[in-house]
Structure 1
């Protein structure tokens, strides 16, 4: 069970999640991290088929093959970012990790209530239910690898580049509401792509240059000085690239 803490984090894990969590622990010290079990892939794609239709989802699944084919050489780029930017993409040995089935489980809500945080940091989880959001009197603050509201959902950085919109390649830190990345914005980062970047490195590139806005937002939350705002951009939720969309963006824009 978690001890009382000003900050608690919710995540399903993954490199960019730990990059952000470790950056926060450098600033605020150790705090509990609730790690939810990942959603089964079969259930994920079943929901996508219901939402988007079987043909579009089949095209998304087909795109995974050419995406996989572009991975060669990206490990070197990622390792260079880890070294150059002092990234920590794994949990620290001393991390206070609490595992739950889901952020929407009773187990998660019990941990949140016991911790009594002033702010909850969220990165890479499923959609959080109103029951969980209302379980503690604290703002839930999300890190999203995309510029909201134009690039809500998945792979926001990739889609900005694929759309010929590189000025919106970056990240958003925002308050969580009941929508998909629709909460009011706290901070955003603008990140430059570097030579050799592709689908496999975009999340890393954005994370390497966005830790500062995460720290600032949590500082504001603890100081009672959050200043949420509405960003005047068209709103759209993105999913995974389709086969045709991925190949088109690669051949026309060099975005792979």
Structure 2
């Protein structure tokens, strides 16, 4: 079945340049983005809600170790990451593309509030594109007009899901498993049917954060291509996972895991 019009797309995004980069890629690819919701759940620039949930689930000691690990990582890699991020996401180009685009815009704290659902439903989207750390609830995914919810993860699912997949692929001795996945969002964590996947080879001087960012740029292009195919055929082809492996959802590294990663000398910082 061929669609008779451009697909109406609403993007559910985070608040940083990588999320705006995804939006710019969609716009540059000719996607009809009719609306965008930018979610920021931080308090004073800190993910307080996430930290509280993590303490409840995993205990104070582990979460403190994860926080210290993140601080140590930033002390070592802040300047390098800033340089790499600026190269991967060219802010001037991104903002130039978006300044010429026209779409409805909303800023929110999570995607479950009635006013957010009403905003999205009122735009009658055919497809939701997701690039955010905020959870996309069932009530959003099941808006009547929505036919597909297309997300992504900078890791090869189903074996690497959750946080910092490039880190864990290298940590586990499988750098060949660094990659990205575009998928149809379901109720799980990065468990949806695969739309497209690809691998990424580390470049000299890469950090594991930069590997994730490179994956995000590939995901955005795959999402745009999936929308193009939908407009031609009325469908987005996907392949469901036969099973989700146990222990395939990874967490933020602890201090011990972070130090072990560096001591192994993989070449990725």
TM-score range with shorter-chain normalisation?
0.7 to 0.9
Q: Which moved more, 1:133-142 or 1:245-254?
A: 133-142
Partner residue in 2 for 1:124: 132
Deviation at 1:191, TM superposition (A): 1.2
Q: 1:89 to 1:251 in 2, by over 3 A?
A: farther
Deviation at 1:29, TM superposition (A): 4.4
> What does residue range 221-236 of structure 1 map to in structure 2 within 5 Å?
221-222=230-231, 223-231=233-241, 234=245, 236=248
The answer to whether structure 1 residue 99 and structure 2 residue 107 are counterparts is yes
Structure 1: 5+ residue runs without aligned partners? Answer: none
Q: 1:234 to 1:32 in 2, by over 3 A?
A: same
2-side partners of 1:176 and 1:190: how far apart?
20
Aligned residues, how many? 251
The answer to whether structure 1 residue 79 and structure 2 residue 86 are counterparts is yes
Deviations 1:30-73 (A, max 9, x none): 43111123244222111011112222111101102220122233
Of 12, 18, 33, the residue aligned with 1:16 is: 18
Q: SS at 1:70's partner residue?
A: helix
Q: CA RMSD in A?
A: 2.5
2-side partners of 1:90 and 1:57: how far apart?
39
Deviations 1:226-249 (A, max 9, x none): 122134673511121110001101
Contact 1:157–1:169 (8 Å) recurs in 2: yes
Deviation at 1:80, TM superposition (A): 3.5
Of 162, 187, 194, the residue aligned with 1:153 is: 162
1-side partners of 2:135 and 2:198: how far apart?
23
Structure 2: 5+ residue runs without aligned partners? Answer: 1-5
Partner residue in 2 for 1:31: 34
Partner residue in 1 for 2:254: 242
1-side partners of 2:140 and 2:220: how far apart?
25
Q: 1:33 to 1:5 in 2, by over 3 A?
A: farther
